[in-house]
Structure 1
């Protein structure tokens, strides 16, 4: 960040660390106490459950009903679910079972054409699910329901998936705290003192609590990967452009679509691959997801921290060690592994922020709220919110104000850092080519205290830089830290410079390998006992 801003942030970081220590001393324990899931069904992946349903070893009704009961059990702790279609989902599950009894579909046909047959899934509230809440967290849209499914939901339904509920988001998807004036705040699945992460935090919390199998989020700067990390699950940001984003609130203009995408969130790595096959079934880009990945042919590069410059909070020692362990795993298996050999810039936060602001059309986003006063008098509205007199949250208004002002960049700054980003992107593409994997932290710490999210905002650059570059990226849970919070590692796979990197399958294969080696998702109840 510009020097004066960096100095100011450094001073604030000192204050933040003191306040954080005091807060953690006062609130020594989380009030979160997610009840354990005792049914063995919850230990099975969506891939395995779909197979068992096809083979009539278990009924779709049983699976859907058990997950509905689990959602009811944990949602009183999380406030993650904002609307549901439980009755409709039960009916649809029974229809699936009846179709199997009458042999309307054979097993082979289902596996090929409806690989999610009878499997429940959940959805971020800002993605249209017909008949469900579709407010974007905006009070003026309260009671609005989606009149049709988003294209991505149609794909999943056509593959046999059964939508069960929609989950909470920050107001207009702007913020790291899942809070809006319509549905309130969502808690982290592991520790209520920490944020569930934005903006797909409702999905991540429900998944982390073991109350969902597969979910759909959206990622414009880490909005799938960060919540997935904070709640200990897998989150995947595919190559942009391969999945339609129609039906999202707020909608994306043509520029935003270059780095914003829908992405799957799961508890088990193999479900990412299954889900991606469904989501890209109508795509004109062939990702070759059915082609096996030979890990021995990969080149693995790693970096334990991406920005140690003035003002950036340091990456925790646990996360650094986590990245190193992942790298050593591949090295010990004879796979080419080395620390990233190119010079990494010290101003990643500036590059990520400037490049995003260069294409982000905030006026386009505000216009969709249909409140002319908001665009003209944003400062007045922010002042009203500080006095509790606004219908908007301070979080959204403050973010809009900063983004509109392109704070703290001038036009020349935006141009300069955008060009630096293009140079860095090219270096990574040249290095990684068609067989490279880059492992680095998803974030600088394992969690953010809900009351101090702005103090760690610069850490978003760890994810946002890869939205800017258009690289696919997956968040991989790598166990728990000493405080019982999830630790994540993020992989970034890049392709040739001639096109956007459509080798998403490398991300999925490496995620599955790391899950096998390190265990993957750990239920919150197990974390509490640790």
Structure 2
């Protein structure tokens, strides 16, 4: 697969250089998405210039990181027609796509051998909308086997590594996207998130990622490993270098074309007024969830951002939340091929559940969301009712705190290999907001320092048990790696969440000057 990818990419690049010998690829690669779209619409750059520049960069990045699964040759055909759509918000922009998002005539294997040679009959709704907006999907990206991990490895395409340290994982399940964007091979990609699968690789790879409110974007054409699980819905969302790019992508996707293609999506266009608002925010603050104690860099990142926000005139309220970690034991894919090493350790998830039930026995019904141990229809209804109650209780607590948004940690820094499967407990920081359906995003704010590493030597965790020890081992050796924070808002307040993320990004940028 890797050899085929390289061969195809080299042929395309050779043609591009011959047709566009004066293209300044180095300059194109430095442009932000907003700068790039402006120059494309003005005509100072052509879609051909941009596509061939990113194709060449992607080849170089993939050679080091193994983050891509295939080149989309259809992107070359699209170059001949995209010129008629200059009004599209993403006119001429190359976009990378996670492998489980259907693309006509291409497999959606989800990293599972038995899913090969089953090409999709049509594009997913999101791909159709991207094309309508003038974007050019040009490459598909890697993911973990069966999407059942927040690592990024499978028997078909192999292990994706971190752009900042090849001895670390890129995270997952949208790990190919995180690595490609973090390595400079793409400036906008589409991932999916059911437990942190956009936010964790964004944290590990030093980029921005956004999980919208569940149901805000169409799920038609997104392939899960197992259909029918409803209690914790998946959310597709954008991944990019900066928050403005996330907002532009959301604005492009939330259009009449998507609402027409998928009538189950509420017809709510992007509210630019909320995104551009400058009113002071009332912010909830969470440094530890009381279940997985944050690494020193995770906690420091939140504290430093909190101080910057306070200096900028925003007000804070300390929040206490009971959270949980979920697990999924859908292993039917084992029957059709080899199991990736990063998944073997998932057998210990039942032990993780035992730890959780001892700590939070009241959450047993919610944890069953991902553990298919329900034996009857009444039990299923009871589980759904428990989830509904939990969402309403959390919203009530949120409102009693009188906050607009929440600042909290996200897992980091990037793990050493083979620890993601051992540490399903640590996704408590991200999976909570999938269960709640709240929009949540990640912004990179710092890097791991020598002092962080020194403090990590004294890390004990919340319970001093096996998982606390494993977490310490997983994040060790992280000096210089990205540090991120997580921003959260109430359901359907996606624009407010992005506005909060933009505020964090801008304040951090100004503080570094």
Q: TM-score range by the shorter chain?
A: 0.7 to 0.9
Cα separation, 1, equivalents of 2:248 and 2:347: 37
Match of residue 116, structure 2, among 142, 155, 158: 142
1:92 aligns with 2:78: yes
Q: Alignment partner of 1:338: what SS?
A: strand
1:56 aligns with 2:25: no
Tell me if the contact between 1:476 and 1:489 (Cα under 8 Å) persists in the aligned partners.
yes
Residue 3 of structure 1: aligned partner: none
Change (3 A) 1:424 1:323: farther
Tell me if the contact between 1:241 and 1:258 (Cα under 8 Å) persists in the aligned partners.
no
1:160 aligns with 2:134: yes
Cα separation, 2, equivalents of 1:429 and 1:462: 17
Cα separation, 1, equivalents of 2:355 and 2:289: 21
Residue 306 of structure 1: aligned partner: 289
Match of residue 286, structure 1, among 268, 281, 287: 268
TM-score, normalised on structure 2?
0.76
Residue 316 of structure 1: aligned partner: 295
Bigger Cα displacement from structure 2, 125-134 vs 180-189: 125-134
Tell me if the contact between 1:228 and 1:235 (Cα under 8 Å) persists in the aligned partners.
yes
Aligned residues: 428
Cα separation, 2, equivalents of 1:437 and 1:413: 24
Residue 451 of structure 1: aligned partner: 418
Unaligned runs of 5+ in 2: 1-23, 260-264, 368-385, 450-478
1:83 aligns with 2:70: yes
1:415 aligns with 2:365: yes
Cα separation, 2, equivalents of 1:158 and 1:301: 39
Deviation, structure 1 residue 438: 0.3
Cα separation, 1, equivalents of 2:485 and 2:441: 8
Residue 340 of structure 2: aligned partner: 393
Tell me if the contact between 1:245 and 1:252 (Cα under 8 Å) persists in the aligned partners.
no
Tell me if the contact between 2:317 and 2:401 (Cα under 8 Å) persists in the aligned partners.
no
Cα separation, 2, equivalents of 1:188 and 1:326: 25
Deviation, structure 1 residue 285: 4.1
Change (3 A) 1:447 1:159: same
Change (3 A) 1:184 1:300: same
Cα separation, 1, equivalents of 2:499 and 2:305: 14
Tell me if the contact between 1:243 and 1:280 (Cα under 8 Å) persists in the aligned partners.
yes
Q: Alignment partner of 2:498: what SS?
A: helix
After superposition, where does 1:210-359 map in structure 2 within 5 Å? 210-250=184-224, 253=227, 255-256=229-230, 258-281=232-255, 282=259, 283-286=265-268, 288-293=270-275, 294-307=277-290, 309=291, 312=292, 314-340=293-319, 343-345=320-322, 348-349=323-324, 352-353=325-326
Q: Alignment partner of 2:103: what SS?
A: coil
Cα separation, 2, equivalents of 1:81 and 1:391: 20
Partner deviation per Cα, 1:465-497 (whole Å, 9 max, x = no partner): 111111000011113222110100000111xxx
Cα separation, 2, equivalents of 1:124 and 1:161: 15
TM-score, normalised on structure 1?
0.74
Deviation, structure 1 residue 192: 1.2
Partner deviation per Cα, 1:139-163 (whole Å, 9 max, x = no partner): 1233443332111111111111101
Residue 172 of structure 1: aligned partner: 146
Deviation, structure 1 residue 251: 5.6
Change (3 A) 1:139 1:203: same
Cα separation, 2, equivalents of 1:287 and 1:403: 42
Q: Alignment partner of 1:478: what SS?
A: strand
Cα separation, 1, equivalents of 2:163 and 2:219: 27
Partner deviation per Cα, 1:118-170 (whole Å, 9 max, x = no partner): 11100111111123342111112334433321111111111111010111111
Cα separation, 2, equivalents of 1:47 and 1:257: 37
Deviation, structure 1 residue 235: 0.7
Cα separation, 2, equivalents of 1:157 and 1:257: 31
Cα separation, 1, equivalents of 2:253 and 2:204: 25
Tell me if the contact between 1:232 and 1:487 (Cα under 8 Å) persists in the aligned partners.
yes
Partner deviation per Cα, 1:345-373 (whole Å, 9 max, x = no partner): 3xx23xx42xxx6xx7x66x84xx5x8x5
Deviation, structure 1 residue 339: 2.5
Q: Alignment partner of 1:175: what SS?
A: coil
Unaligned runs of 5+ in 1: 1-36, 100-104, 375-389, 495-500, 523-530
1:442 aligns with 2:443: no
